[in-house]
């Protein structure tokens, strides 16, 4: 057996419902007012985090979902989201039935749950054009 290979099926049949913010389909700037919360029903996993929920939706429900993740252990703080009105890290917050997951407050929305983090002297604003010769 290879390391990490499970010898038993351990998933339950139980499902949870979550609501996730989606930007409008057109490629215009999303001010946060034009999007809507989409409902998803997904199977519950043991100690499932919000990031696990987003991964599941992306792989199995909608490949166009935009979200950001990097370290998965609460250190890079890139996966910050708004959950039921509170600022939380998706990777270290346990998922609950009925949760509303939106983009982090106070940042410009890039798309769905991806927001722009301010960098001084950086490009965040202009994209590559800022450096164009």
Partner 1 sequence: MEPKRSNLQTDVLIIGSEGAGSRAAIETAGEGLRTLVVSKGFFTRGGASVTADMDINVPSRDAKAIFGLPGDPADDVESFARDMLEEGKFMNREELVLAHCSNAARSVKELADWGMRVEGLVHSPGHRFPRGILSSGRSMMQTLKKKVEESGVQLLENLMITDLLTERGEVGGAVGVDTRTGDFVVIAAKAVILATGGAMRLFPITTAPEELTGDGFHMAYRAGADLVDMEFPMFLPACLYWPESMKGVDFPYLFSVQVGGWWLNKFGERFIGKWDPTRMERGTTRDVASVAQAMEIMEGRGGPHGGIFVSTKHVPDEIQEYCAEQIPWWRNFIYGQFDLVKFGLDPRQVTYEAGPACHYWNGGIRVSQKGETSVRGLYAVGEAQGGTMGANRLSGNAVAEAVVFGAIAGRQAASYAQDAPLPCVSEEQVTEYRERAYQALARENGVDVFDARKRIQKAASEFVGPARDREGLTSCIKEVEELNKEILPNQTTTSKRRACNREWVMALENESMVLVLELIARASLMREESRGAMYRRDYPDTDNGEWLKNIIVKQGDGRAVLRTQPVVTSEVPLPEREKVPYMIPTWEFDKRF
Question: How many residues in the shown chain lie near partner 1 by CB under 8 A?
Answer: 56
Please check whether residue 20 is in contact with residue 65, taking contact to mean a CB–CB distance below 8 angstroms.
yes
Which of 48, 96, 100, 108 binds partner 1 (CB under 8 A)? It is 48
Q: Is the C-alpha dihedral spanning 106, 21, 109, 34 positive or negative?
A: negative
For residue 19, state whether it binds partner 1 (rule: CB under 8 A).
no
* Rounded Cα–Cα distance for residues 63 and 46 (Å): 23
Please check whether residue 3 is in contact with residue 32, taking contact to mean a CB–CB distance below 8 angstroms.
no
What does the per-residue mask of binding to partner 1 show for 86-105, with x meaning CB under 8 A? Answer: ---x--x-x-----------
CB of 92 to partner 1, least distance (A): 4
The torsion angle over the Cα atoms of residues 25, 61, 14 and 51, rounded to 10 degrees, is -70
Q: Which residues bind partner 1 (CB under 8 A)?
A: 1-8, 10, 27, 45-49, 52, 58-59, 62-78, 89, 92, 94, 110-112, 114, 117, 119-124, 127-133
């Amino acid at each position: 057996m290879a390391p990490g290979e499970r010898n038993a099926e351990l998933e339950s049949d139980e499902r949870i419902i979550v609501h996730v913010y989606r930007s409008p389909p057109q490629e215009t700037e999303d001010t946060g007012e034009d999007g809507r919360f989409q409902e998803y029903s997904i199977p519950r996993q043991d100690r499932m985090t919000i990031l696990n929920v987003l991964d599941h939706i992306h792989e199995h429900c909608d490949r166009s979902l935009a979200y950001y993740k990097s370290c998965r252990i609460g250190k890079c703080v890139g996966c910050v989201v708004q959950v039921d009105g509170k600022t939380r890290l998706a990777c270290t917050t346990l998922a609950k039935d009925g949760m509303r997951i939106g983009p982090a407050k106070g940042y410009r929305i890039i798309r769905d749950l991806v927001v722009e983090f301010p960098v001084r002297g950086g490009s965040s604003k202009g994209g590559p054009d800022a450096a164009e010769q």
